[in-house]
């Protein structure tokens, strides 16, 4: 482990050991501390709201009624009864409220935040839909069928208003949705990336039946490029980054020349930092990319603009789980993520918990 401010930080500690773990079971970089903010099937802080199990994708949102406050929206990847929880934070980090903002859905996996302050939660099954949620809970979730019915994983809104979407299947597609009206996801055009192979040039072709009423979306366009297990997605400026777990890659799509290239190739399994990829989140202020490992060393890993990698947090003793939902508080000072199947309760049932990590993030990330 190297000191904060060094050029390259290889890892928090040797994987598979308990060395340096804090009381919450996390191995962190020097100067960083953690707290558990939610455990499955237990009340969140003093709110009385019982946190659901299998936490997954997440994002934070500014609380416009309380200066300095924020909300954290968290998906629950539960078969038959997924949904989304929202936790409200005071400016000092105290949790003041928690509640459900989406119910009646299933396998809510990842998603994406919109520039207009809503959360797109994605259902991961072959006819899954996207629901648009209000983190404050004042408005009910709205289904957005125009974004397609497929095994949705995650979504990202580009500066031009288009929504890019991943599909978690071994032969999944890479989709984009162009709304008829900017900021309104009720109507628009759903397309899928086609071409001879990836990396390479991309041509966008309309999905004939976005409802997938007769044929799964990924089988409607024969020339669709097939990506091996689409996972997290976010914007790096005007370029799109998305991960595929099957080949442990992070891809970069550039809309200016409509090409997709490999942005980062993760290590072989068991060989070095970042050997599995899942959810990802881009820190706009520094262009560092945070990647959650599904398995691997159970780490949150940061990819710097120069492609060096740093493990910023590792969960020990939870090899059967996966890391999910990395994101920062709006001020950039608190990192959130979940261990989806962390042991909780008196019987250590593998139902998951959500963490917060605070520390000298500005220094580590080189933010201006």
The domains located in the chain, with CATH, are 26-365 (2.120.10.30)
**pLDDT surpassing 60 at residue 9:** no
Instruction: Kindly give the residue spans of alpha helices, DSSP state H, lying in the chain.
Output: 361-365
pLDDT confidence bin for 336, thresholds 50/70/90: very high
Distance from C-alpha of 243 to C-alpha of 234, rounded to nearest angstrom = 10
Number of H helices, E strands in the chain: 1, 29
Calculate mean pLDDT across residues 325-329: 98
Mean per-residue pLDDT, 96-120 = 98
CB 144 within 8 A of CB 150: no
Q: What is the rounded average pLDDT of the residues 16-40?
A: 89
| Residue-wise pLDDT tens digits, 230-251 | 999 999 999 999 999 999 999 9
In this prediction, what percent of the chain has a pLDDT beyond 90? Answer: 91
Q: Where are the beta strands (DSSP E) in 142-258?
A: 142-143, 152-157, 163-167, 174-181, 184-194, 200-201, 203-206, 230-236, 239-244, 249-254
d(CA 89, CA 76): 20
What pLDDT does residue 270 have?
A: 72
Judge contact between 137 and 99, C-beta under 8 A. yes
Contact 175, 190 (CB under 8 A): yes
User: Given this model, what pLDDT does residue 2 score?
Assistant: 27
Q: Please check the confidence at residue 15 and state whether its pLDDT lies above 50.
A: no
Answer whether residue 306 shows pLDDT above 90: yes
Say what the pLDDT of residue 18 is.
57
Per-residue tokens: 254: 């550039």
Write down the pLDDT at residue 4.
28
The pLDDT value recorded for residue 268 is 86
- pLDDT confidence tier of residue 55, bands split at 50, 70 and 90: very high
Would you say 359 and 32 are in contact if contact means Cβ atoms under 8 Å apart? Answer: yes
Residue 361 has φ and ψ, to the nearest 5°, of: -65, -40
pLDDT of amino acid 13: 40
- The answer to whether the CB of 100 falls within 8 A of the CB of 83 is yes
Q: What is the pLDDT confidence band of residue 19, given thresholds at 50, 70 and 90?
A: low
Would you state the pLDDT for residue 293? Answer: 96
- pLDDT at position 99, please? 98
pLDDT score of 295: 83
Q: Which residue is associated with the tokens 């939660």?
A: 121
pLDDT attached to residue 349: 96
* Nearest residue to 292 (alpha-carbon basis) of 318, 265, 311, 272: 311
pLDDT at 222: 96
Residue-level pLDDT at 144: 98
Q: Tell me the per-residue pLDDT of 173-222, one tens digit each, with 9 for 90 and over.
A: 999 999 999 999 999 999 999 999 999 999 999 999 999 999 999 999 99
């Amino acid at each position: 482990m190297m000191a904060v401010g060094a050029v390259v930080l290889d890892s928090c500690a040797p994987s598979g050991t308990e060395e340096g773990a804090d009381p919450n079971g996390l191995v962190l970089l020097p100067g960083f501390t953690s707290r558990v903010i939610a455990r499955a099937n237990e009340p969140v802080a003093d709110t009385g709201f019982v946190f659901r199990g299998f936490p997954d994708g997440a994002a934070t949102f500014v609380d416009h009624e309380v200066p300095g406050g924020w909300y954290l929206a968290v998906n629950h990847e539960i078969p038959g009864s997924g949904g989304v929880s929202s936790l409200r934070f005071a400016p000092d980090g105290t949790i003041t409220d928690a509640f459900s903002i989406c119910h009646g859905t299933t396998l809510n996996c990842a998603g994406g935040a919109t520039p207009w302050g809503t959360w797109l939660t994605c259902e991961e099954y072959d006819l899954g839909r996207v629901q648009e949620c209000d983190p404050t809970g004042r408005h009910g979730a709205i289904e957005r069928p125009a974004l397609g019915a497929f095994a949705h994983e995650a979504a990202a809104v580009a500066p031009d208003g288009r929504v890019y979407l991943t599909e978690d299947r071994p032969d999944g597609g890479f989709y984009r949705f162009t709304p008829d009206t900017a900021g309104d996801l009720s109507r628009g055009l759903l397309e899928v990336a086609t071409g001879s192979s990836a990396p390479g040039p991309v041509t966008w072709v309309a999905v004939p039946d976005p409802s997938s009423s007769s044929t799964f979306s990924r089988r409607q366009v024969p020339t669709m490029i097939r990506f091996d297990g689409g996972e997290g997605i976010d914007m790096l400026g005007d370029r799109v980054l998305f991960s595929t777990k099957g080949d442990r890659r992070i891809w970069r799509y550039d809309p200016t020349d409509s090409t997709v290239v490999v942005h980062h190739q993760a290590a072989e399994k068991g060989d070095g930092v970042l050997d599995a990829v899942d959810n990802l989140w881009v820190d706009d202020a520094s262009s560092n990319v945070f990647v959650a490992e599904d398995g691997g060393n159970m780490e949150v890993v940061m990819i710097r603009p120069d492609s060096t990698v740093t493990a910023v947090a590792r969960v020990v003793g939870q090899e059967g789980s996966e890391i999910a939902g990395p994101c920062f508080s709006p001020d950039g000072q608190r990192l959130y993520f979940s261990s989806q199947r962390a042991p909780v309760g008196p019987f250590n049932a593998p139902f998951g918990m959500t963490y917060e990590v605070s520390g000298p993030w500005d220094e580590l990330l080189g933010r201006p």
